[in-house]
Structure 1
Amino acid sequence: MRAGGDVEIVDEASFAGAFETRALGDLRWARTRSGAFRFLRGKDRTQKIMVEHVMVNVVASGRVYGRIGRRKISQATGGVVFSRLSNPMDLVVEDATWLALIIPMRLLTASFNWSPRFDGFVFDAGTAQAAMIGGLLSSFDQIDETLDAAEIDCVTRASIAMIASCLDQAVRLTSKPKKDVTNLQLSIRKYIADHLSDPDLGQERLSRAFNLSRAQLYRCMKGTSNIAKTIRRLRLFAIRRDILSGSNKHQTIPAIARSWGLTDERNFRRAFVTEFGYPPSYLRDWSNSVVDRVGEGARLGFDLEQWMLGGQTDDVV
């Protein structure tokens, strides 16, 4: 635990704890029992994270509270808390037992588009999602350690599918109603989607195409706080989708990036790692090894058509 952050024990004289873990393919399950302590992970630690993981935590007893990223959390027995390995944290654990499932981000994002809104996301005790995820993590203790590769693959896919489904349903229930989208907004979105591969696409190009000043353009595209950032993220999701699909496996990754308008290889790789938590080469190696499981990549990643037609941009801006 100290490798991921700093631990402050409330009463070292009486502190006791136990930790057990096991790996199931790419997943890692853990159970921790401990007395009261405080866990701190600063930005200096998070900046050293090379491969991103999602942590699914179930409070089996006791209480956990504090801050994950910018979000305050407080969960007692039965609650579920989500975090990333790269999230700064300041958490207090009070005589708790908790279960954790650690999932490589590349596996989760193959079926669900994680965004920063889920850093510190919780399912309160008593909700259906908390009960389902709690039952899932509890079941790992009963799984035979001598599983063969096919059985491990089944456990991995089923676990991720359940967790992704719970998160997806939560997003649908809590999403704000879409604001009215004007015909001009739709036209601008369609123009961006149609010209996404053009490296010259940007605010100036849009202003000229629609005869709008910069201020008028941003007022029209309300909810899109940074057009350049939006375009870059749409391109990154399109590149990620193409890599996952395997349809461009004979193309180099820089060539795929150039086909979507990102011509600076160094800046592209840096932006990709910042966005997804792993380099594009890592994603290609993984997708090549599980191409039969991933299937058609066209259905994966960000839905460009939905955005073009006026969908929410929370995951993009």
Structure 2
Amino acid sequence: MNESTLVDDPGRGVNALARLRATTTDICDVIPLTAEDDFHVTTVAMMIGNALRVDTRASDLEYDRTPAHVARGAMDHFQITLCVEGEMRFSSGRHEVTLRPGDIVLIDMAQPNRTMLRAGGGRTHLMTIILQRAMLAPRLAHPDSATATLLPADHPRARVLASHYAALGETGSAEATIEAIADIVAAAAGGTADIAAGVERAERHLYLAMIKRRIADNLETDALAADELCRHFQISRATLYRLFEADGGLAHYVREQRLNLAFRRLISPAAQDKRLIDLAVNMRFSSDSTFIRAFRRKFGLTPGELRELADTWLRETGAVPAIDTVLHQLAGRRTS
């Protein structure tokens, strides 16, 4: 999981076009809309469980997926595509949509279609999640008519979905996030009764993951007050507090994450000379004594004792063990 693979080397011109055509020969025809010397494409794919996230930047081109391509059976999947930059025009039968930045579309690759990318001389940037039909079709009341379902950029759920594309693969909950995205897109395309009933749960998962990412990025700032988070994510205080009930409340969760960050800093050789009072202030504790008490409650030893252990490990082995190893050793000490 979370393994990145470079599918096409960044490049331009005839060689880049030949590589793309070789990669997609059983999927579609590639028609450049620029001179071949000006053609450019870069594609990076990442496996996330049973899903594939594809990040593509390309000059103006057209993909033509004909009935012959469909008959080859090389790609009987659904795609959920986010337009990041440029413009994407998609058509399949009588369905036709145009995507601009922030728009998201559901595409059924089991049907012939044409996709045109236009960026006015620049690059169209798309991020796509490719799902097996067996995963998404059971969520749809009418899977054969779901293609070209559009979630425009100004739709609240589109904004939530878009915020997760780049972050997929960075957290341990990536597969659950894929499931939640599938539920929300299926509901927009006409989901089953079960999916419609579960959309609120899926949306809650995505909001919570999004807020937790912001918390992780701002642990050493004052941007994590409830009012600030409510303003940033445009949700009510009651909704914010409900999201963190399972984590012991918002304040408890933020404090736990700050203590975890302090732990990582204390065992880092680069931070051995940092004063505890400075670390406490950076973690937004009111005093070093408050910080020490909270740290001891969580980890079973004081920050100073942890620093001494880290010094010993570094002196004896030349390196500090991985964080999981340190935590395992501390847990063993407490139970012995």
| Higher-helix-fraction structure | 2
- Structure index of larger Rg: 2
Pick the TM interval, shorter chain. 0.3 to 0.5
- Normalized against structure 1, the TM-score is what? 0.47
